[in-house]
Structure 1
């Protein structure tokens, strides 16, 4: 059983398997609630004995959706816009509808919009950061699961959050500075952190290795050849992202993935694990991560 407060309601969720989110992708455009799920919102109790489709409406690529129960007791997905769904009464789960599909091999994704199946969250099964939007859950082999932003951080992250589609990318020219210290502070201001090398190479796997975008990407969005198996957009070969080498006691500032000027080297395992912490340029961006909140 999981329990937490969302807006003015106490939301409790029971599931048959607490190692999975209660939502799953029925196909590219539709989500369902798993059979055996019980959702309590305040004094109301909703039981889903069978897999239950979520009413989707007209969903738009690049947007985040949250699920609530309508007046007829049916689950419905709604665009939450720029607002954190956990601050809005009644929402208990959600997902991201991406502008393209995730990689199924090692040659990137595709250009057909699809629900990111790794973006499903629900109350109690979510990132430990305050805002669950625009993140993908990664199972790290031999390690703990974690969440990472689907998109590069935007320059207007204070209002839009760190993972939004179609916004100006934060880098060393769009901001006054984006060195290691600033990148760390931006993550911390959203309750997130920098990814480690092991986390990045796992999250970015599936891209077309040794390739890059043809020019500076400017905005967050789809670059199908460099979409990862977990649906990270512009995962490599667009901008270097800040991270750490993963040392538990003395983490070194590091950069991952390569930029648009390093196509022959860019990729999921391309990294500089001892980068100068004061470096900042238009080739340096940011992709924030968060630990996983395991259900209690």
Structure 2
């Protein structure tokens, strides 16, 4: 099924929004778009919506399994308007997820449990959103992979992650309750090439739709409880998104590409494409789910 605009999808695609969880994948280029869509289809989403320019190609087997929406991904913040329109069009309480091409969601035990099972547990804990850490992954050999993307030679940082209190813009002396700004990975190591508002690695990428809910700049929502990492009484599940997005941007940007002969350093570790590694590194939290 294909729609020529987000507006058309919101108006005529009600059947695809009837039951979650729904994955929204925004294609900023065609790099690993097919593997990204296949990965998320394997997690058990009820619908995969690919929002991409009409000129982007999808292999036949992928195109069969996704809903295609023509979408201009060139504008800054393009995903915000699209997500907010889809939130308004979907039934309240529908679980949704969003990411970009060359990104891959991992959550505790995702190799044996579906996304629906995980979100059912999270819902029982009276949570309407889930914090995900965007973990930068990158090719080890940039001579062989000049765009920094390789599924076979994939590395990540095993340390260098930290959090700071998130202040309330209206009152800088009082940090927001159960909210933190998280840093690390390539955005930390190459922060001179990353605008300050984009240096954090936290993203509320899993959420339930609600009346009046809107996504804001910085991957946070208008309801502040959605932006918390846990409920008041115990730790909750968190997930991780393994993402080539920052590495790709740093190597495609003329202002940074020549400063980076390699992303590897003494704290690099080969990525195993498995949730156990991310749990062991503390890059996601199982909470009370065992």
Q: Shared fold (TM-score greater than 0.5)?
A: no
The two structures have a TM-score, normalised by structure 2, of 0.28
The two structures have a TM-score, normalised by structure 1, of 0.28
Relative contact order, higher structure (CA 8 A, sep 6+):
2
Greater helix fraction, Structure 1 or Structure 2: 2
